[in-house]
Amino acid sequence: MSKAVTTQAGIGDLHGDFNQIAFIARQIINGMATSAPAKVMAVHDGPNGWTVDVQIMVNQIDGKGEGIPHGTIHGLPVKTLRAGTSEIRIKPRVGDKGLISFCHSDISVVKKTGDIANPGSRRKFDWSDGVYLGSFHADGEATSVIEIGDDDNVLIKSPTVALQASDLVDITGPVTTDSEYRVGGTKVVGIQQGAITAPTGGATIDSQARTAINAILSAMRTHGLIAP
């Protein structure tokens, strides 16, 4: 885990009760973990969701003003957007840069039980008691995007979008595709084909067959399978 490094006292910090008390207060505050940007070093699957190992991105400073990198903080839970049995989640990736919020008290028992519990120890504002809130810094363009623009339109961009509905997918409004529709991997509807001329003339005329063919062509035009 990461350990806070506090600065040394200057000459002015030793003069007078106020300066000494102020220095002690600053030392205590410097040891408190509140929130910090962090880099994801590892991602773990678990029965209660993902956890991440992270490294704080802002170095500590020693008395000489030299930077001291933080160590790795292990096993921080990852925030998702959840209510009841509904959830929107994004799995972190190694190398992501996000924000961590650190809790007032030891949350180790709450992490294990998922319920109200006493703190696991008397530590306060400790680096071990953080929650990863998600990425805030982007490296390169995202390949999977859900975006709501200022025109209230929703853009979903991804190499593959999978819908798994246990009951029904209900769509109100027109659906547009520039490719094809498949059922069980088999193409059932594709791009509109060219017009087909209704049968005319010929030496032998089967009126019943022509009536059926014209009805089929009409239905195909109505459904947009062939051009008018």
Q: Give the span between the Cα atoms of 7 and 27, in whole angstroms.
A: 7
Whole-angstrom distance, CA of residue 36 vs CA of residue 100: 5
Q: What is the pLDDT of residue 139?
A: 82
pLDDT of residue 201: 84
Dig out the tokens for 188 from the structure.
């059932």
* Tokens (6 digits) for 116: 């109200």
Q: Which residues pair with 174 in a beta bridge?
A: none
**Calpha distance 118→108 (Å, rounded):** 10
Nearest in space to 100 (alpha carbons), one of 70, 138, 127: 127
pLDDT for the residue 62: 82
Q: What is the pLDDT of residue 206?
A: 87
In Å, what is the CA distance from 52 to each residue of 100, 133, 212?
11, 11, 65
Taking the CA of residue 164 as centre, how many other CA atoms within 13 Å lie in the half-sphere pointing to its CB? 2
Helices (H), 31-139: 108-113
Q: What is the pLDDT along the chain (228 residues), one digit of tens a residue?
A: 555 545 566 666 677 788 877 877 777 777 788 999 999 999 999 888 999 999 999 998 887 889 999 999 999 999 999 999 999 999 999 999 999 999 999 999 999 999 999 999 999 999 999 999 999 877 888 899 999 999 999 999 999 999 899 999 999 999 888 888 888 889 998 899 999 999 888 888 888 999 999 999 999 999 999 999
Instruction: Output the pLDDT for position 64.
Output: 84
Q: What is the DSSP letter of 193?
A: B
pTM check: above 0.85 = no
